[in-house]
Amino acid sequence: MRLAMVTLIVAFGVVAIGTTHAEKEKKMDDRVFEMRTYYAAPGKMKALHARFRDHTLGLFKKHGITNIGYWSPADAKEADKKMVYILAYPTKAAADKSWDAFRKDPKWVKAKADSETDGTLVDKVESVFLNPTDYSPLK
Protein backbone atom coordinates (compact mmCIF):
# COMPACT_ATOMS: atom_id res chain seq x y z
CA MET A 1 0.00 0.00 0.00
CA ARG A 2 2.80 2.46 0.92
CA LEU A 3 4.75 1.57 -2.20
CA ALA A 4 1.67 2.20 -4.33
CA MET A 5 1.15 5.57 -2.63
CA VAL A 6 4.80 6.59 -3.15
CA THR A 7 4.60 5.51 -6.80
CA LEU A 8 1.44 7.56 -7.27
CA ILE A 9 3.02 10.64 -5.65
CA VAL A 10 6.16 10.32 -7.79
CA ALA A 11 4.10 9.84 -10.96
CA PHE A 12 1.98 12.88 -10.13
CA GLY A 13 5.16 14.91 -9.53
CA VAL A 14 6.60 13.89 -12.91
CA VAL A 15 3.38 14.84 -14.69
CA ALA A 16 3.27 18.16 -12.85
CA ILE A 17 6.91 18.91 -13.73
CA GLY A 18 6.27 17.96 -17.36
CA THR A 19 3.23 20.21 -17.50
CA THR A 20 5.14 23.09 -15.96
CA HIS A 21 7.95 22.68 -18.52
CA ALA A 22 5.44 22.52 -21.38
CA GLU A 23 3.68 25.61 -20.07
CA LYS A 24 7.00 27.48 -19.89
CA GLU A 25 7.80 26.50 -23.48
CA LYS A 26 4.33 27.66 -24.56
CA LYS A 27 4.85 31.01 -22.83
CA MET A 28 8.17 31.41 -24.64
CA ASP A 29 6.51 30.62 -27.99
CA ASP A 30 3.85 33.32 -27.43
CA ARG A 31 6.27 35.96 -26.19
CA VAL A 32 6.34 39.29 -28.01
CA PHE A 33 9.15 41.80 -28.13
CA GLU A 34 9.10 45.55 -28.31
CA MET A 35 11.93 47.54 -29.84
CA ARG A 36 11.93 51.12 -28.65
CA THR A 37 14.08 53.96 -29.96
CA TYR A 38 14.35 57.11 -27.88
CA TYR A 39 15.52 60.37 -29.41
CA ALA A 40 16.91 62.44 -26.57
CA ALA A 41 16.41 66.18 -26.27
CA PRO A 42 19.66 68.03 -27.02
CA GLY A 43 22.16 67.57 -24.19
CA LYS A 44 19.89 65.17 -22.25
CA MET A 45 21.25 61.72 -23.14
CA LYS A 46 23.36 61.41 -19.98
CA ALA A 47 20.31 62.20 -17.83
CA LEU A 48 18.19 59.75 -19.84
CA HIS A 49 20.69 56.95 -19.24
CA ALA A 50 20.77 57.82 -15.54
CA ARG A 51 16.98 57.65 -15.31
CA PHE A 52 16.95 54.21 -16.94
CA ARG A 53 19.85 52.94 -14.83
CA ASP A 54 18.52 54.29 -11.52
CA HIS A 55 14.75 53.92 -11.90
CA THR A 56 13.22 52.61 -15.11
CA LEU A 57 14.73 49.12 -15.33
CA GLY A 58 13.60 48.19 -11.82
CA LEU A 59 10.13 49.58 -12.40
CA PHE A 60 9.83 47.68 -15.68
CA LYS A 61 10.69 44.47 -13.83
CA LYS A 62 8.17 45.31 -11.09
CA HIS A 63 5.44 45.59 -13.73
CA GLY A 64 6.23 42.34 -15.56
CA ILE A 65 8.31 43.85 -18.35
CA THR A 66 11.41 41.81 -19.23
CA ASN A 67 14.49 43.90 -20.00
CA ILE A 68 16.30 42.22 -22.93
CA GLY A 69 18.97 44.80 -23.77
CA TYR A 70 19.88 48.45 -24.14
CA TRP A 71 22.16 49.94 -26.80
CA SER A 72 23.74 53.18 -27.91
CA PRO A 73 24.74 53.65 -31.55
CA ALA A 74 28.45 53.04 -32.21
CA ASP A 75 28.71 56.44 -33.91
CA ALA A 76 29.38 59.00 -31.13
CA LYS A 77 27.18 61.71 -32.68
CA GLU A 78 24.26 59.30 -32.97
CA ALA A 79 24.89 58.00 -29.43
CA ASP A 80 24.25 61.53 -28.13
CA LYS A 81 20.86 61.47 -29.85
CA LYS A 82 19.52 57.89 -29.73
CA MET A 83 19.05 54.99 -27.37
CA VAL A 84 17.59 51.68 -28.54
CA TYR A 85 16.26 48.96 -26.28
CA ILE A 86 14.27 45.75 -26.46
CA LEU A 87 11.70 44.49 -23.99
CA ALA A 88 9.74 41.23 -23.85
CA TYR A 89 6.27 40.34 -22.63
CA PRO A 90 4.25 37.12 -22.39
CA THR A 91 1.68 38.56 -24.85
CA LYS A 92 0.75 41.88 -26.47
CA ALA A 93 -2.17 42.19 -24.03
CA ALA A 94 0.26 41.72 -21.13
CA ALA A 95 2.46 44.46 -22.62
CA ASP A 96 -0.46 46.88 -22.72
CA LYS A 97 -1.40 46.06 -19.13
CA SER A 98 2.21 46.40 -17.92
CA TRP A 99 2.70 49.77 -19.62
CA ASP A 100 -0.55 51.07 -18.16
CA ALA A 101 0.49 50.05 -14.64
CA PHE A 102 4.03 51.40 -15.15
CA ARG A 103 2.81 54.82 -16.31
CA LYS A 104 0.54 55.10 -13.24
CA ASP A 105 3.16 53.94 -10.73
CA PRO A 106 3.83 56.77 -8.26
CA LYS A 107 7.55 55.91 -8.21
CA TRP A 108 7.70 56.34 -12.00
CA VAL A 109 5.71 59.57 -11.90
CA LYS A 110 8.14 60.97 -9.32
CA ALA A 111 11.29 59.71 -11.07
CA LYS A 112 10.13 61.21 -14.37
CA ALA A 113 9.23 64.54 -12.80
CA ASP A 114 12.48 64.70 -10.81
CA SER A 115 14.57 63.92 -13.90
CA GLU A 116 12.83 66.58 -15.98
CA THR A 117 13.18 69.62 -13.72
CA ASP A 118 15.39 71.20 -16.43
CA GLY A 119 13.19 70.08 -19.34
CA THR A 120 11.99 66.88 -20.98
CA LEU A 121 14.58 64.23 -21.70
CA VAL A 122 12.95 62.65 -24.75
CA ASP A 123 11.80 64.41 -27.91
CA LYS A 124 10.48 61.34 -29.73
CA VAL A 125 9.78 57.65 -29.09
CA GLU A 126 9.43 54.97 -31.75
CA SER A 127 7.95 51.63 -30.72
CA VAL A 128 7.65 48.47 -32.80
CA PHE A 129 6.20 45.20 -31.52
CA LEU A 130 7.92 42.13 -32.95
CA ASN A 131 7.15 38.43 -33.15
CA PRO A 132 10.14 36.08 -33.42
CA THR A 133 10.47 34.06 -36.59
CA ASP A 134 10.41 30.27 -36.37
CA TYR A 135 14.20 30.23 -36.85
CA SER A 136 15.03 33.00 -34.39
CA PRO A 137 17.46 31.89 -31.66
CA LEU A 138 15.75 34.32 -29.27
CA LYS A 139 12.07 33.63 -28.61
- The predicted structure's pLDDT at residue 29: 61
- The predicted structure's pLDDT at residue 43: 97
What digits encode the pLDDT tens for the residues 83-102? 999 999 999 999 999 999 99
Domain boundaries, the chain: 1-30, 31-130
CA separation for the pair 64, 2 (Å, rounded): 43
Is-contact 11 47, C-beta < 8 A?
Answer: no
CATH code reported for the domain at 31-130: 3.30.70.100
Residues near 7 by beta carbon (within 8 Å), at least 6 away in sequence: none
Q: Which region among 2-16, 51-65, 88-102 has the lowest average model confidence (pLDDT)?
A: 2-16
pTM of the prediction?
0.78
E-state strands within the chain: 32-40, 66-71, 82-89, 122-130
Residue 28 has pLDDT above 60, yes or no: no
- Strands 122-130 vs 66-71: parallel, antiparallel or unpaired: unpaired
